[in-house]
Structure 1
Amino acid sequence: MSLLPESLASWIVIAVLLFWFVGAYNRLVRLRATVLQAYGALDAALGKQLDFVQASITAGPPPEAAPTGESLSSIAPLQAATTQLATLLGATRARPLDAGVMAALATALQVWIGAWRRQHPDDVTVFDADGTLSRPAQLLPGSLIGIGASAGAVEPIAWPEPSAAAEIARNQFNQAVGHYNAAIAQFPALLVAWAVRLRPAAPLL
């Protein structure tokens, strides 16, 4: 009979730890699901941007533009960058939480934006992350970001299609990634993340 209190206390401790583990795991899973949901919106927005650029490539230059050979040569880098981005977007769609895949997508996105700006230097508009403000962007050659963003903030991308949807989706995805990464790095939740092999995700910068 004297062992009963010790046994009961042990079971209570085990029950409390199990309850905490399940609660912490469920919270991490919810944050992970939020990242995946945010990526779904980002994927759709990037798809629309790709469709916009592909339509502009298919339409071709106006009759008064450069001769056919020259115009095809100038548009080839944009077509190649569009194809590469579409391929990497498909790969990222299968593994949006893979930091390496997301880094490759970010690089392809930068190349694509640069190719668009070289082809259409006058068609550059930057939207703020909340989508309420937009402004023409005077960008330096090779730059992908607008002028005037606050220090330390992720500066907006000058998207080809004049729509705030992609910048809003990118901002929401990056915020979801930040919350998820912060949660799995906190002690003792990091023990749960380690036990179930949850890895940090990467934002789209």
Structure 2
Amino acid sequence: MRDTRPVYTKHKPPFTAFVEVNTRELDGGALEWVIAQIENVEIEEVEKHVDGHCYLWMPVEFNEDHRKCYYPSVCGEQALDIISRVGIDVHQHKKRPYSIIEKRHFDATKGDSVEYMKGFNREMVKRPHVPGKYDNKWFARLSVDHGPFGWQEQHFMSDDLKLSAMRCYAHSVHGEKVSIPSIFVEK
């Protein structure tokens, strides 16, 4: 299948100093820049946010496909195109907010409440779960990267699906470290 994505070759921002960073920690303008390099989309800086480290990128040339900013870790349409083309699996860790246990285990100090459960045909205890570090986190991994133990911390984890998937994509191309322009690194 032929790659029909546009390739931009006019001019690049003048970056002179580069620094090596971990691909698992990429976000914001640095992640967008790395993904643009992988996707061969030439972008230019059009706005710097107040903190000086968040950048807004536009493709150098505009056509019908690219009339908006280049933000694949934020823009669902751009991210989903990459996720489906590359083959990235994503999963959100969801946990029921409570456990259902037998009434004899009731402990008011743990926030338990007793309710009649139709499925059990008797009163049961609802015990709230203590939030864990993975609750509501998104995990991403390459489709070919399945291990026998399911989703793990080594897979790319964040609060956002698109961010996890784009970090996974950057890691699949560059490995653990990638060189980015030093303007993206906080002083």
TM > 0.5 fold call: no
- The bucket for the TM-score relative to the shorter chain is under 0.3
The structure showing larger relative contact order (alpha-carbon pairs under 8 Å, at least 6 residues apart) is 2
> Higher strand fraction: Structure 1 or Structure 2?
2
Larger Rg: 1
Task: Report the TM-score, using the length of structure 2 for normalisation.
Answer: 0.27
Q: More helix per residue: 1 or 2?
A: 1
